[in-house]
Amino acid sequence: MNKIGEFHFDTESYQMDFRGRVTIPMIGNYLIHAASIHAANRGFGYSDMTEKHTAWVLSRLAIEIMDYPKSSESITVYTWVDEVGRLFTSRCFELANGEGKTFGFARSIWAAIDMETRRPTLLDVEGLSSYISDRPCPIEKPGKIVPVEAKTEGVPYKVKYSDLDINGHLNSIKYMEHLLDLFDIGMFREKEISRFEIAYQAEGKYGMMLGLHLAEAAPGKYDMAICHEEKAICRAAVTWK
């Protein structure tokens, strides 16, 4: 079986923001969908993991976009595994428009957890390694994000029904949406996000009170965090151009 997965999407008006462009969270949805199907086709999907009482969790994600697709454009997502360890596996993505021109790349890190204890479990290194590809992904790997929660006052948010995923926890994409909502609408009118990086550290649950933090690290660069009881459940970094 081909090691590179290829998946096609058509952008629709309901997926656009007020500028008529695909959003970073929607791109995140495309990536997670492609990763899920690619894994399932190779025997490591949701159903396969559930039989072993385990589940994939997204640990880190970095997305870099050079040009944002608009409504009614087709998008092709290529995905492949580039590293496999005992506890984590690394997956890459390339995004191309309908003309075959690359407009973005992404890197992600995934872990398998025990569904009862919610703790990391060992991966099938031998089985997963057979799908490793040396296809290049020319963006930086996810790195350390500076803590900002002690420097800023968090914006309060309570986890609601619409935030929950199939496991009953705060959906990975909802973390992204809530963080991006911290920026003023003027930023989206005047600039574009060139890189978005997020590190998930703990699971948000229904009814949980959160604090959303934002601090400017340098011109056009921001560090962010979502905290519960003053402890970060995720951190993020955004670069605007």
For all residues of the chain together, what is the average pLDDT?
94
Residues 90, 18 share a domain: yes
Q: Do 11 and 122 sit in the same domain of this protein? A: yes
In this structure, are 191 and 117 located in the same domain?
Answer: no
* Structure confidence at residue 79 (pLDDT): 98
- DSSP per-residue letters across 146-166: ---TTTSPPEEEE--GGGB-T
Q: Report the pLDDT value the prediction gives residue 26, as an integer from 0 to 100.
A: 96
Instruction: Write out the residue range of the structural domain in which residue 221 sits.
Output: 155-240
Burial 6-39 (b: 16+ CB within 10 A, else e): ebebebeeebbeeeebbbbbbbbbbbbebbebbb
Q: Are 194 and 238 in contact (CB under 8 A)?
A: no
CB atoms within 10 A of CB 117: 9
Count the Cβ atoms, other than its own, within 10 Å of residue 143: 10
Beta pairing class for 54-65 and 5-10: unpaired
Q: Are 28 and 173 in contact (CB under 8 A)?
A: yes
Residue 9 pairs in a beta bridge with 75
Q: If you average pLDDT over residues 186-212, what whole number do you get?
A: 97
User: Has residue 19 been placed in a domain?
Assistant: yes
Q: Are residues 92 and 12 in the same domain?
A: yes
pLDDT above 70 as % of the chain: 100
- Looking at the DSSP bridge assignments, the partners of residue 196 are 63, 238
Mean pLDDT to the nearest integer, 27-35: 97
Whether the per-residue pLDDT at 24 is higher than 80: the answer is yes
Average pLDDT over residues 10-34: 94
